[in-house]
Structure 1
């Protein structure tokens, strides 16, 4: 489908095309009270890929989208510590070095941890030795303005640190449901490197981490000299198809997994098994809505965030319950919408498996996780707010 009036949020080019069309979807952040009747307001949800710079991006803006307070998972806390350790290994944690952090709804602020290493927040006017963006670019409607602001905030000889969920991960794993309202830009490392170079910066180092299927921490400087590992990571993303529109178009085919999820839930219901969900996350909304799932197939979804409990999933009548209520219902299967948190939630909710239930992840088809032994359950157990 052509969108002749749309221009890239980064380079401004009109050369591109719609590569993923999920039709009309409710905004994931509008989680109404359970008693509020359907239908919910909906908006087009489409991804456009820029042939000029390679940025995959949201077309329509659903208006002001606000992150609903959630419980920060241990996996994200661990990722933060790994990233800051990596900064130390690169010699960036110099005492009295100044830092500016561009805010993000994800992962919490790094400033308290960096202060513990002697870094000083740069307040008011002025530039900083370190400029940090942790999943922040994702939320900026105007990518050109956002990148320019970060470049201008960087002192001479300074380093920009960016953490992102790479577009290459979406392609490799078929995570089409990562497209949602309020998330405007899906950068790959090659595309971001090209955009940064228009602002006098370039990717200097990049590291891949397994969280959420694949996140990347990168540094950018005004005199980039990428090492062999960084060049290999960039090339691996090219091999994944981030610069190939034919490969990018396959995201639309990947969205067919929603129908297969519905078929699986229907089969489980026919077999007399109770399936409940876990993880009322933003990525769960397009998946549930695309599959047309309601309480007839999935009676409830649990979430650790008190701000979500007592509400329902947008676009459907599925209520959001507490983890304690999930356990009390003794489900035969628990569909985990956040596969990367499998170990964490299994360790926090051992009663599910002890009662004979099984956790199921989307991989991308529903796949039941083998039940843990007593020794494995002990290993899995980690602190988690319920």
Structure 2
């Protein structure tokens, strides 16, 4: 009999599976293009703790070191905005001490912070001393033991210090139907209400939360000892609780979204029948369950372009779809290019004008495939190229 799932934060075994993607290949093992199929697979399931409300991976699967990607301009711009916001809040001060818990999904904030006069501490050094500011940039979700991870971050704070976390909240995942954000090696999916409760268990309280449109809704959250949520944070807390982020019924909508990937497969079949070649852009981790769940092969999707040299010459895990350089993607002259990361629309279209110049069209999943307007038409209409509407701030 299998061992019961225990919560990574509160250690309770009271919970249930709310999203089951079946057997999936680990996204971090991107095979070389000529490596034979099939690839190894493992269960990919989300379990919701009834006690503390943390949604989390039900199964631990060993993960390899992630292939180094190229940080998109949109992500770098978000980092700039977040650091500027912290500075405006008086949390970035010359002479202050900062420690960072980072992740493979973005560049470090330390150069931005030390450039403003802060001194960097190494959180792995037990003699480094307390920090006035502890930042976590998408790092928390990579920690298998969430209780220990939160304790480490809280314990590193100096008296009066602030913890700042940037994360994609479960509220965004649920609101936007982003079931494909469930990945091996991404252990915790915090909603803002569950995170607030967990932080208070470690002696610090949620103070502020700012919403940004990146990836459908990225949050920058601050917490410190004795703090209570301000008006903006309370509004976001209510919005997420209203979505049902701590209930099995609410999160069950993710399963329904995942079960709807047949629409993508059907669209690709129709495009092939119409004589059109379809490719994609962005060999990101979130693209792996999209491709595999929909049963997509290279007869339907010719290639996936990606700017990261480490990924080029490989294939998407679980399928024979090759990963190619952007220039090779352009040479294919595809009729349609699906953006697996729609937030990259502006910069990718600017980098690859030949796609549209040759008559091709960019496509976003919304959730069904939808063609973006052509750049020239969007400019004449007064919209920025790549704008695809619908970025909503929770009310």
Whether the 8 Å CA contact 1:275–1:331 is kept in 2: the answer is: yes
Alignment match of 2:165 (pick from 159, 162, 165): 162
Partner of residue 330, structure 1 = 333
- For residues 20 and 282 of structure 1, what CA distance do their matches in structure 2 show? 18
Partner of residue 92, structure 2 = 93
Whether the 8 Å CA contact 2:339–2:345 is kept in 1: the answer is: yes
Whether the 8 Å CA contact 1:130–1:154 is kept in 2: the answer is: yes
The offset of 1:100, in angstroms, is 0.8
Query: 1:324-359 CA deviation, whole Å, 9 max, x = no partner?
Result: 011111110001111111112111111111111100
The offset of 1:116, in angstroms, is 1.1
Partner of residue 321, structure 1 = 324
The offset of 1:60, in angstroms, is 1.3
- Runs of 4+ in structure 1 off by over 2 angstroms are 374-381
Secondary structure at 2:311 match in 1? coil
Partner of residue 237, structure 2 = 234
- For residues 316 and 244 of structure 1, what CA distance do their matches in structure 2 show? 34
Whether the 8 Å CA contact 1:122–1:128 is kept in 2: the answer is: yes
- For residues 290 and 127 of structure 1, what CA distance do their matches in structure 2 show? 45
Alignment match of 1:356 (pick from 355, 359, 363): 359
Whether the 8 Å CA contact 1:266–1:297 is kept in 2: the answer is: yes
Partner of residue 176, structure 1 = 179
Partner of residue 112, structure 1 = 111
- For residues 375 and 57 of structure 1, what CA distance do their matches in structure 2 show? 40
Whether the 8 Å CA contact 2:63–2:184 is kept in 1: the answer is: no
- For residues 102 and 327 of structure 1, what CA distance do their matches in structure 2 show? 37
- For residues 375 and 385 of structure 2, what CA distance do their matches in structure 1 show? 9
The answer to whether 1:347 aligns with 2:350 is: yes
Query: 1:30-77 CA deviation, whole Å, 9 max, x = no partner?
Result: 111111110111101111011111111111122033221111000101
- For residues 61 and 20 of structure 1, what CA distance do their matches in structure 2 show? 15
Whether the 8 Å CA contact 1:65–1:182 is kept in 2: the answer is: no
Whether the 8 Å CA contact 2:183–2:286 is kept in 1: the answer is: yes
- For residues 375 and 248 of structure 1, what CA distance do their matches in structure 2 show? 36
The offset of 1:374, in angstroms, is 7.3
Secondary structure at 2:310 match in 1? coil
- For residues 380 and 359 of structure 1, what CA distance do their matches in structure 2 show? 11
Whether the 8 Å CA contact 1:205–1:226 is kept in 2: the answer is: yes
Alignment match of 1:134 (pick from 137, 142, 146): 137
Secondary structure at 2:261 match in 1? helix
Partner of residue 31, structure 2 = 32
| TM-score (structure 1 length as normaliser) | 0.96
- For residues 60 and 205 of structure 2, what CA distance do their matches in structure 1 show? 29
The offset of 1:375, in angstroms, is 7.9
Query: 1:13-45 CA deviation, whole Å, 9 max, x = no partner?
Result: 111100111111110011111111101111011
CA shift in 2, pair 1:34/1:323, >3 Å: same
Whether the 8 Å CA contact 1:3–1:17 is kept in 2: the answer is: no
The offset of 1:133, in angstroms, is 0.4
| TM-score (structure 2 length as normaliser) | 0.93
The offset of 1:4, in angstroms, is 6.4
The offset of 1:127, in angstroms, is 1.1
